[in-house]
Amino acid sequence: MSQSLTHKLIASHLVSGDLSPGEEIAIRIDQTLTQDVTGVMAFLQFEALDTPRVRTKLSVSYVDHNTLQTGFESADDHRYLQTAAAKFGVHFSRPGNGICHQVHLERFGVPGETLLGSDSHTPTCGGLGMLAIGAGGLDVAAAMAGHPFHLTMPRVTLVHLRGALGPWVTAKDVILELLRRLTVKGGVGRVMEYGGPGVATLTVPQRATITNMGAELGATSSVFPSDARTRAFLRAQGRAEAWAPLRADRGAEYDDVIELDLEALEPLVAQPHSPDNVAPVTELAGLRVDQVAIGSCTNSSYQDLMTVAAMLKGRRVHPEVSLVIAPGSRQVLRMLAANGALETLITAGARILETACGPCIGMGQAPPSGGVTVRSFNRNFPGRTGTRDAKAYLASPEVCAATALAGTLADPREMGEPVKVAMPRRFPVDDSMVLPPAEDPDEVEIVRGPNIAPLPRRGELEDTIRGRVLLEVGDNISTDDIMPAGAEILPLRSNIPAISQYVFCRIAPTFSERAKEAGGGFIVGGVNYGQGSSREHAALAPMALGIRAVLARSFARIHHANLVNFGILPLKLPEDGLVGEGDELAMEDVRARIAAHQPLEVHNVTRGATFQAGYDLTGRQARILLAGGLLNLLREEGG
């Protein structure tokens, strides 16, 4: 039977289950990645599993998020991660080596292998032909310990590409067009597989831009074939031996097909405050802009930044615009420095940032009050920039560069002949900032700073759950809304009691205090609750505050899994479910109903009404909830 590339990748790693959409499957994980925001918790959880060394082919710990060290907390976390990596058999990418997804694409990605990462943009490596999936840190810790990764078998959507991109049109416009068509929940429960003759016109960095922002569709993963373009990229990275040809079988069937003519695309922009609020740049041209930021794991490759340098050469950034640029990796930065492009960027008036996530996660370079910022990033949720009332637009590096010069949102097609940047035949390879694990782990002492608090624990799921609805929110609530990032909050990621004070702080500043006073309770949400980042802190911190259940119309995939992993019930709120903030709710026979896969009876004591709340749980997820979380279940099963 002819198979899609996605089915081939899953079948070659299948541990249990079958490839029927909606069925629970388990797959073997070849590689893992963690970053410092999610990595400390992942390593603490790995320690709790009592596994002496990782059991994957390769695991890498990156420091790329919390590099703005405003206090001792982040520096202590980095020291912990370095020593833990050395002891447990993990490679450690030091601060300054680059953004995890860019570096992993360059130095570690292998076509045909599986990659599980504690970051929602892990599917970036799907641009190489990997099955790369983002997950919560606890799932990654379990994979590091040798456990398979469990998920619902996704549907597979073929994005059939034909033609070639026109002048000044980019890979960013490809994924923005898909977001315009499908919305931020259009990829939920799906893998986006790219095929067709247009694939051969795209370089690996361009493909990686597309797979990176597949996360904004809510997709489980995104994947391109491994072809001659892939081989050329790996050979240029000195890793030709990693290449293998991979593609779908001729005549492979898909759950659905999207036709996309690359020649018909034009430069696009995502408007505030969602990646799917997309419009042509021509409709927005002339909008006054305060800041332009170029970089992030989406658009910080050599090809991207050389294009920007060529556009800025001999020109000056508009005097009312602040332009900041963050190369995605040390390799890219070295190449820009060696060929003179870095001087071009500086001379034009750009501010050069560290090779890190930086402003993409609100870690520095916040725009002014009420300001407009145009960014080559992947998310523009409210407050993510670090300025609550700023308006963030997402666009290609080309649109960003044209805008920085004009001072207003600008169409790069007005700049004349397009810039053409050839892919290098050879990249300079220097992995000296990737530290290998210790040969003798017994000689390594793990160093823990005072900000690293013990893992919060909870017991088994209660049979009777009673409490108040502490907060009611609307549709498309993101993990940024639940557990914000930024320079004030990110350094507390290894201290759950401290960071719990900030849960929902931008929506309901008193939420944490009310949760503590009430001894926990419930949250009510709308559609696509928990979209965005994979940060498990958006489940872990509410668990520490005593949240027992979230009742929502629907959930984003990773956040749903994180809620389960930490023992919080993700319940589907029916249309006739009468419930609001302040209502007292009671649920009885919870354990028996979950064990029997029966809906829960929710009694609204305040309103004197009762309704049934269902859930989408696999048999294994039901066992996790009954145990009070994944760590508890793994201990019950013998680690």
157-177 pLDDT, tens digit each: 999 999 999 999 999 999 999
Q: What's the CA gap between 57 and 168, in Å, rounded?
A: 40
- Looking at domain 465-636, its CATH architecture is Alpha-Beta Barrel (3.20)
Mean pLDDT for the chain overall: 96
SS3 annotation, 248-279? CCCCCCCCEEEEEEHHHCCCEEECCCCCCCEE
What pLDDT was estimated at residue 457?
84
- Does the pLDDT of residue 351 top 60, yes or no? yes
- Provide the pairing of β-strand 584-587 with 278-280: unpaired
Mean pLDDT of the 133-139 span: 95
- Does the pLDDT of residue 374 top 80, yes or no? yes
Q: Give CA 613 to chain center in angstroms.
A: 29
Q: Give 140's DSSP letter.
A: H
Q: Classify residue 429 as left (phi > 0), alpha (psi -120 to 50) or beta.
A: beta
Q: Which helix (H) or strand (E) holds 147?
A: none
Q: What's the CA gap between 405 and 575, in Å, rounded?
A: 50
- Does the pLDDT of residue 243 top 60, yes or no? yes
CATH code: domain 268-415 is 3.30.499.10
What pLDDT was estimated at residue 540?
94
Q: In the structure, what pLDDT confidence band is assigned to residue 455 with cuts at 50, 70 and 90?
A: confident
Q: Which residues contact 27 (CB under 8 A, 6 or more apart)?
A: 10, 13, 14, 15, 114, 131, 148, 149, 151
The two tokens of residue 501 are 């004070």
Q: In the structure, what pLDDT confidence band is assigned to residue 4 with cuts at 50, 70 and 90?
A: very high
What pLDDT was estimated at residue 70?
85
Q: Which residues contact 255 (CB under 8 A, 6 or more apart)?
A: 21, 155, 156, 157, 190
SS3 429: coil
Sheet-wide strand order for 155-162: 221-223, 190-195, 155-162, 256-261
Mean pLDDT of the 555-572 span: 96
CA-nearest of 156, 152, 121 to 135 is: 121
What pLDDT was estimated at residue 573?
95
Mean pLDDT of the 110-126 span: 97
Q: In the structure, what pLDDT confidence band is assigned to residue 132 with cuts at 50, 70 and 90?
A: very high
The two tokens of residue 395 are 């666009």
Mean pLDDT of the 424-430 span: 96
- Does the pLDDT of residue 638 top 80, yes or no? no
Q: In the structure, what pLDDT confidence band is assigned to residue 534 with cuts at 50, 70 and 90?
A: confident
CA-nearest of 273, 281, 278 to 180 is: 278
CATH of 5-264, picked from 1.10.150.20, 3.30.499.10, 1.10.3720.10, 3.30.559.10, is 3.30.499.10
pLDDT above 90: percentage of residues in the chain: 92
Q: In the structure, what pLDDT confidence band is assigned to residue 632 with cuts at 50, 70 and 90?
A: very high
Q: In the structure, what pLDDT confidence band is assigned to residue 143 with cuts at 50, 70 and 90?
A: very high
The two tokens of residue 237 are 């990275």
Q: What's the CA gap between 390 and 372, in Å, rounded?
A: 6
Length of the chain counted residue by residue? 639
Q: In the structure, what pLDDT confidence band is assigned to residue 487 with cuts at 50, 70 and 90?
A: confident
Q: What's the CA gap between 13 and 28, in Å, rounded?
A: 5
What pLDDT was estimated at residue 639?
46
| Burial environment of residue 282 by CB neighbours within 10 A (0 to 12, 13 to 18, 19 or more) | middle
Per-residue pLDDT of 220-237, as tens digits, reads 999 999 999 999 999 999
Q: Do domains 5-264 and 268-415 have the same CATH topology?
A: yes
**Domains of the chain, residue spans:** 5-264, 268-415, 465-636
More confident residue, 488 or 543: 543
- Does the pLDDT of residue 184 top 70, yes or no? yes
Per-residue pLDDT of 596-630, as tens digits, reads 999 999 999 999 999 999 999 999 999 999 999 99
